[in-house]
Amino acid sequence: MRRKLVAGNWKMHGSLVANQRLLEALRTACGDLRGVACAVCVPHPYLAQAASVLAGTAVAWGGQNLSEHDSGAYTGEVSGAMLRDFGCRYALVGHSERRALYGERDALVAAKFQAAQRAGLTPILCLGETLDERNQGATEEVVARQLDAVLSVAGVQALSEAVLAYEPVWAIGTGHNATPAQAEKVHEFLRARVAQHDGGLAGKLQILYGGSVKAGNAAELFAMPDVDGGLVGGASLVADDFIAICRAAENAG
């Protein structure tokens, strides 16, 4: 039985005052969740705040990006070791906004995945197709390519310390989530692809769904057998919504 994980992606939102309220609400509410892990991926300047409010609680935290390099003359970049210094457990890698807006291609995403693991972080590797790609029937081809780029450099064993997040680009921030059946089909495909290399590992791999997960649709998405929780953007900024999504994961078992 895989444990569910609900991870929030705050994107470039927040302030010290607003974060404090949100983090304190999560700290209180997530403490008694059973069988579900929670995390928030916050903007880098707020990692110290997340660490100070969440240390010793049931809520983990992480970064939204990291450099593919371990250190050096890379102005403006943040290394995996720096994220670890602030107690991060997770780092998002290959979020579609990084791929689309910052030109992160598969090889760079794979290098960032490896950098995260070198630093002792658990990468949450985001995969997903655009609407055009879906309409062309290329969904599986796209997510397979994105996954294989990591497998080919890191090897399948690397996935034993990683999380996948299927995030159809057309569902992110649009209010139009994939249906549970659409999500399940891709999750099943991804798990089967990993199983071609290692069936045992594939059975244990957490695959999150992301794309307009809300309090009102989380339960039906998390009820799917291959959906192991969610990566949540907009709804992770509202304490009651994020907590309701965590509760839906708890109830989905």
Which residues lie near ligand PEP (CB under 6 A)?
Answer: 9, 11, 167, 172-173, 210-213, 231-235
Least CB distance from residue 75 to ligand PEP, whole Å?
A: 26
Q: Based on CB atoms, which residue is closest to ligand PEP, 80 or 234?
A: 234
For 186-196, b where at least 16 C-beta lie within 10 A, e where not — what string? bbebbbebbee
Least CB distance from residue 166 to ligand PEP, whole Å?
A: 10
User: How large is the greatest C-alpha to C-alpha distance in the chain, in angstroms?
Assistant: 48
- Residue 106 burial class via C-beta count within 10 angstroms: exposed 0-12, middle 13-18, buried 19 and up: middle
Least CB distance from residue 7 to ligand PEP, whole Å?
A: 9
Own/partner pairs, 59-62, CB within 8 angstroms, 24+ separation = 59/23, 59/26, 59/27, 59/30, 60/89, 60/90, 61/87, 61/88, 61/89, 61/90, 62/7, 62/88, 62/89, 62/90, 62/91, 62/92, 62/121, 62/122, 62/124
Residue nearest ligand PEP, CB atom distance = 233
Q: Based on CB atoms, which residue is closest to ligand PEP, 64 or 114?
A: 64
Residue 242 DSSP SS3: helix
Is position 167 annotated as part of the catalytic site? yes
Q: Based on CB atoms, which residue is closest to ligand PEP, 18 or 55?
A: 18
Active-site position among 95, 104, 133, 187 = 95
Is position 95 annotated as part of the catalytic site? yes
- Measured CA to CA, the distance from residue 158 to residue 147 in angstroms comes to 12
Residue 154 DSSP SS3: helix
Least CB distance from residue 83 to ligand PEP, whole Å?
A: 18
Active-site position among 167, 184, 187, 250 = 167
Q: Based on CB atoms, which residue is closest to ligand PEP, 95 or 191?
A: 95
Query: Scanning the structure block, which residue is given the tokens 């309701």?
Result: 244
Least CB distance from residue 236 to ligand PEP, whole Å?
A: 7
Q: Based on CB atoms, which residue is closest to ligand PEP, 205 or 231?
A: 231
Best CA proximity match to 183, nearest among 249, 135, 228: 228
- Measured CA to CA, the distance from residue 205 to residue 218 in angstroms comes to 20
Enzyme catalytic residues: 95, 167
